[in-house]
């Protein structure tokens, strides 16, 4: 059975991505335009992402909750920046049970408003603070241009919401969660990210400050990995979220919100994938090891299958996620290509000669051909694979970091910036003016991604300080990352 080859990334990166999502059975298009169906393989990846994050959220004191999908329209209208930011994307329910509703209901684009309403009832005193909550759900934003995982009308995510007694506590929470996301990106997804501050034009509607993680994809475009927002007292004032402090004075709370969505799956595909297909980061891969039995006769089949099943049991005992490919009617070569396309980190090839000498050939997904082949004794297979998975994770991260740094240019002039954003990121001095930012966007289609918190980490070296704004020539306030984005 011949499998149609993917387009190469160099030929058509966008089409390579679209076809890969479908062929690897991560997701499919839904009957409603702009929506997606996440298939079992894609959902298994999302479950592993959820588990890795949920553990981190709970370790930092957050508890999971569930709020309704439907929000009264009047709630959305209470915070003026919020309604301005989200109005074009809102889906509104006006009829329920066959009758027109007295007040239209919004399908949640995010939950700050309904949570603020409930907090005004639940929070009375400084003793009720801090409130540290998170929910796993889906939200609806009426996007016009959609792409599986990256931008869909409905998408899955987590949204954290916290309330604090002081400004300092809320700021610390915002940065703590940015660090939690960074830890996840580096240590689970093997994606190097740039933590930074968003400009006023790019920040969340209703936030005082928005922080984000920015990552470079395989086509040198930027992708916002996640966001963490310091909301100040904006939502607390809109929803009367107050507490009595220790001196008996009524104060407004300080709040935060932070979120990461299934868009991260798109990042994993585009950062690590190659012309053969996906390359899954080992720690969150749905399947870490696939065993492919190789035989010709029934006698060989019996012996190889018996050993393969024993190996599978050993690997499961070692807490590895393993699959034994027992499909009939497909050649070993076809299976190899299929599992390469699905990005399984390690493939175990087991034939009669391997059984006889009690060894197997392992193939690393991150290294093509002979370079990725490792011979291992069956007795030491679990330990060998565990070591390989650690090496693969590090190799994926190092490769992605080297790629990002090689495609990020320090730029001092506007001409340099224009050239840099054609090929990756421009790291440029900026005066902080919204006008300059808007002109750069209009003329180059590049947005200000973030002002990196750690400027030396961008290129792995000290960067020039001061200088003149890349657009207007006035003294630079910051050095910012500019890039074309998803």
CATH of the domain at 453: 3.30.110.30
Residues 120, 123, 125, 126: is their CA dihedral positive or negative? Answer: negative
281 and 242 Cβ atoms separated by less than 8 Å: no
In a domain, 157, yes or no: yes
Query: Which pLDDT band, with edges at 50, 70 and 90, does 83 fall under?
Result: low
pTM for the predicted model, two decimal places: 0.96
The total number of residues written for the chain in this structure = 486
DSSP for residue 485: B
Count of alpha carbons within 13 angstroms of residue 132, beta-carbon side = 15
Residues 223-254: tens digit of each pLDDT: 999 999 999 999 999 999 999 999 999 999 99
Query: Which pLDDT band, with edges at 50, 70 and 90, does 1 fall under?
Result: very low
Looking at the fold, whether 336 and 458 belong to one and the same domain comes out as no
Percent of the chain at pLDDT above 90?
93
In a domain, 3, yes or no: no
Q: What is the pLDDT of residue 367?
A: 96
Residues 122-138: tens digit of each pLDDT: 999 999 999 999 999 99
In a domain, 318, yes or no: yes
Query: Which pLDDT band, with edges at 50, 70 and 90, does 3 fall under?
Result: low
Query: Which pLDDT band, with edges at 50, 70 and 90, does 86 fall under?
Result: confident
In a domain, 281, yes or no: no
Pick from 361, 394, 427: which residue ends a domain?
394
Residue 111 token pair: 């939950």
Angstrom distance (rounded) from CA 171 to CA 164: 10
Q: What torsion do the CA atoms of 333, 334, 335, 337 make, to the nearest 10 degrees?
A: 90
Phi-psi region of 98 (alpha: psi -120 to 50; beta: other; left: phi over 0): left
- 421 sits in which H/E element: helix 414-423
What does DSSP say about strands 359-364 and 408-410: parallel, antiparallel, or unpaired?
unpaired
Q: What is the pLDDT of residue 465?
A: 81
Looking at the fold, whether 124 and 237 belong to one and the same domain comes out as yes
Looking at the fold, whether 390 and 427 belong to one and the same domain comes out as no
Biggest alpha carbon–alpha carbon distance for the chain: 84
Residue 345 token pair: 């980190």
The CATH number for 218's domain is 3.30.930.10
Looking at the fold, whether 19 and 108 belong to one and the same domain comes out as yes
Mean per-residue pLDDT for 283-295? 98
DSSP for residue 98: T
Residues 159, 205, 252, 107: is their CA dihedral positive or negative? Answer: negative
Looking at the fold, whether 260 and 324 belong to one and the same domain comes out as no
Angstrom distance (rounded) from CA 472 to CA 376: 61
Residues 276, 277, 280, 281: is their CA dihedral positive or negative? Answer: positive
Preceding amide of 56 cis, omega within 30: no
Pick from 272, 303, 324: which residue ends a domain?
272
In a domain, 461, yes or no: yes
Q: What angle do CA 240, 245, 251 make, to 5 degrees?
A: 30
Which residues are registered as beta bridge partners of 224? 214
Mean per-residue pLDDT of the chain: 96
Residue 206: count other Cβ atoms within 10 Å of its Cβ. Answer: 25
Mean per-residue pLDDT for 312-329? 97
pLDDT reading at 2 higher than 60: no
Residue 304 token pair: 């190889």
Looking at the fold, whether 298 and 417 belong to one and the same domain comes out as no
Question: Where do we find the tokens 């290509």?
Answer: 337
Residue 36: count other Cβ atoms within 10 Å of its Cβ. Answer: 23
Q: Pick the more confident residue, 5 or 66.
A: 66
Residue 218, classified by CB atoms within 10 Å of its CB into exposed (0-12), middle (13-18) or buried (19+), is middle
Looking at the fold, whether 196 and 293 belong to one and the same domain comes out as no
Looking at the fold, whether 439 and 387 belong to one and the same domain comes out as no
In a domain, 1, yes or no: no
Looking at the fold, whether 182 and 51 belong to one and the same domain comes out as yes
pLDDT reading at 466 higher than 90: no
Looking at the fold, whether 265 and 241 belong to one and the same domain comes out as yes
Residue 172, classified by CB atoms within 10 Å of its CB into exposed (0-12), middle (13-18) or buried (19+), is middle
In a domain, 350, yes or no: yes
Angstrom distance (rounded) from CA 220 to CA 409: 12
- 56 sits in which H/E element: helix 40-59
| Number of separate domains in the chain | 3
Domain that includes residue 353, residue range: 289-394
Three-class SS of residue 319? coil
The CATH number for 375's domain is 3.40.50.800
Residue 144 token pair: 């016009």
In a domain, 110, yes or no: yes
Buried-exposed string 82-91: b where 16+ CB fall within 10 A, e elsewhere:
bbebbeeebe
Q: What is the pLDDT of residue 464?
A: 82
pLDDT reading at 109 higher than 60: yes
Query: Which pLDDT band, with edges at 50, 70 and 90, does 88 fall under?
Result: confident
Mean per-residue pLDDT for 330-348? 97
Residue 318 token pair: 């070692």
Looking at the fold, whether 21 and 131 belong to one and the same domain comes out as yes
159 and 114 Cβ atoms separated by less than 8 Å: no
Report how far apart, in Å, the C-alpha atoms of 22 and of each of 37, 268, 333 are. Answer: 11, 15, 21
Pick from 207, 242, 272: which residue ends a domain?
272
Q: What is the pLDDT of residue 307?
A: 97
Question: Where do we find the tokens 């809102």?
Answer: 90
Looking at the fold, whether 450 and 377 belong to one and the same domain comes out as no
């Amino acid at each position: 059975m011949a499998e149609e080859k993917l387009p190469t990334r160099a030929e058509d990166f966008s089409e390579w991505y679209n076809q890969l999502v479908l062929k690897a059975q991560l997701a499919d298009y839904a009957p409603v335009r702009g929506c997606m169906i996440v298939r079992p393989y894609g959902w298994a990846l999302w479950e592993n992402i959820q588990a890795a994050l949920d553990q981190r959220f709970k370790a930092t004191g957050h508890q999971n909750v569930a709020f309704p999908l439907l929000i009264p329209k009047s709630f959305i209208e209470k915070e003026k920046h919020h309604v301005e930011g989200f109005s074009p994307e809102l889906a509104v329910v006006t009829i329920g049970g066959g009758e027109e509703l007295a007040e239209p209901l919004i399908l949640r684009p995010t939950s700050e408003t309904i949570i603020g309403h409930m907090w005004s009832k639940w929070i009375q005193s400084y003793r009720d603070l801090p409130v540290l909550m998170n929910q796993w759900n889906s939200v609806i934003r009426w996007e016009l241009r959609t792409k599986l995982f990256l931008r869909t009308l409905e998408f899955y995510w987590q949204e954290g919401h916290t309330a604090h007694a002081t400004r300092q506590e809320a700021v610390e929470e915002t940065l703590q969660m940015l660090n939690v996301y960074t830890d996840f990106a580096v240590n689970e997804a093997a994606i190097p990210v740039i933590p930074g501050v968003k400009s006023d034009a790019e920040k969340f509607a209703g936030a005082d400050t928005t922080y984000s993680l920015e990552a470079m994809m395989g086509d040198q475009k930027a992708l916002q990995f996640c966001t963490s927002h310091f909301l100040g007292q904006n939502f607390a004032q809109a929803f009367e979220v107050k507490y009595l402090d220790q001196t008996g004075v009524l104060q407004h709370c300080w709040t935060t919100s932070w979120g990461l969505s299934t868009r991260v799956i798109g990042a994993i595909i585009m950062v690590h994938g190659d012309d053969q297909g996906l390359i899954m980061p080992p720690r969150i891969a749905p399947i870490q090891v696939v065993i492919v039995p190789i035989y010709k006769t029934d006698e060989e089949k019996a012996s190889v299958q018996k050993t393969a099943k024993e190996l599978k049991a050993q690997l499961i005992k070692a807490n590895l996620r393993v699959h034994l490919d027992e499909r009939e009617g497909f050649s070993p070569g076809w299976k190899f290509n299929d599992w390469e396309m699905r990005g399984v980190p390690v493939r175990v090839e087991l034939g009669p000669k391997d059984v006889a000498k009690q060894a197997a050939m392992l193939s690393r997904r991150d290294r093509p051909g002979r370079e990725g082949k490792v011979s291992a004794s069956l007795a030491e297979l679990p330990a060998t694979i565990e070591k390989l998975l650690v090496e693969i994770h590090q190799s994926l991260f190092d490769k992605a970091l080297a790629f990002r740094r090689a495609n990020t240019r320090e730029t001092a002039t506007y001409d340099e910036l224009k050239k840099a954003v054609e090929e990756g990121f421009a790291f440029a001095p900026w005066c902080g003016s919204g006008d300059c930012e808007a002109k750069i966007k209009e003329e180059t289609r590049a947005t200000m991604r973030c002002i990196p918190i750690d400027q030396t980490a961008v290129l792995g070296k000290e960067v020039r300080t001061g200088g003149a704004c890349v657009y207007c020539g006035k003294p630079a306030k910051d050095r910012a990352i500019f890039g074309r984005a998803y």
